[in-house]
Amino acid sequence: MLKLLLFLTFSPLSSADTHTLQYLYTAVTPGVKFTAVGLVDGEQFVYYNNNMMRISEWMKKAEADDPLYWQKEKEHVKDQQDSLQNIVTTVMKSFNQPEGVHTLQWIYGCERDDDGTTRGYDQYGYDGEDFISLDLKTGAWTAANDKAENFINEWDPTGAEAKDWKDFLQTDCIDQLQKILNDGKETLERKVRPTASVFQKHSSPEVVCHATGFFPKTVMITWQKDGEDVHEDKDLRETLPNQDGSFQKRIILTVSAEDLQKHTYTCVIQHSSLEKEIVLPVSERRILNPGGGSGGGRIGGGVALVLIAIVVSEIVC
């Protein structure tokens, strides 16, 4: 059994909401075992493999109201199976690989900020390496290496495929995103406040600020020193999904015990669910002992257990 761990992350530069529509396809030889995942704002709404299709509960409700549209959406996911199978065959031929186990991954999607700004992307990977991507400015494929360039010349010599996908990502994809947001509004546009905590392992210079349980995905977490943003000695981790459809994120500050005594450090969290930002003083952090016990101050209900959920596609070999 091959487990393919797929991390889809975006890091907006502000706390304004960004809506995203993403599709990730994977094809594995021999026999081209196929999986597809569709996500909107980080929420999986469709999953498909060679044998079955699974859709979210809110999509089932939307399908009952608009069956023709959602049938077309499901067919869109299925149709890519034949396309990827043809691409895998062409790639293996270009690379002179008549047989063997190979993996082709394809990620495409679009984003729309609240201010109307839109973006799109279309990227392929082969055997774990970058392969080709679509440049939306030029409307042409970009090759990661010479072999990929040869593949482009054989697969899309006139650039017709590139033009079609550029048009799709800049228009149809954005329209589709808005349609899905409207149909899944109750689920996708909900606002859930983050639960936040600050903690530090005993004798460790790393102080962790952790926010979890929030929705939508976009959040801004920063460290401040005496009221000014900290720009060094910090590690902002990626936003990860929880099993309940919410998200979590953490930022780690590396600071000496002396600096903690001399200065006032705070963690600041901004999210669209909040009327005002959350400010957590490091002085009230929870201290975690090496043996798993804890002491010191605590914030709110203490430190929540971190359960990291990732999108996993299982392909039975």
What is the set of domains in the chain, with CATH numbers? 2-188 (3.30.500.10), 195-310 (2.60.40.10)
Q: How far is CA 159 from CA 67, 106, 153, 154, 296, in A?
A: 34, 18, 9, 11, 63
d(CA 186, CA 134): 34
Residue 84: which H helix or E strand, with range?
helix 67-94
**The most confident of 17-21, 59-63, 187-191, 251-255, by mean pLDDT:** 251-255
> For 35-44, 53-62, 269-278, which range has the lowest pLDDT when averaged over its residues?
53-62
What does the pLDDT read at residue 290? 57
d(CA 199, CA 228): 21
**pLDDT tens per residue across span 262-316:** 999 999 999 999 999 999 999 999 999 755 544 444 333 332 323 223 333 333 3
- pLDDT band (50, 70, 90) for residue 86: confident
What does the pLDDT read at residue 301? 32
pLDDT > 90: percent of the chain: 51
What does the pLDDT read at residue 71? 79
**pLDDT tens per residue across span 200-236:** 998 899 999 999 999 988 899 999 999 999 999 999 9
d(CA 307, CA 236): 18
- Asked whether the predicted pLDDT for residue 4 surpasses 50, the reply is no
What does the pLDDT read at residue 244? 82
- Mean pLDDT (the chain) is 83
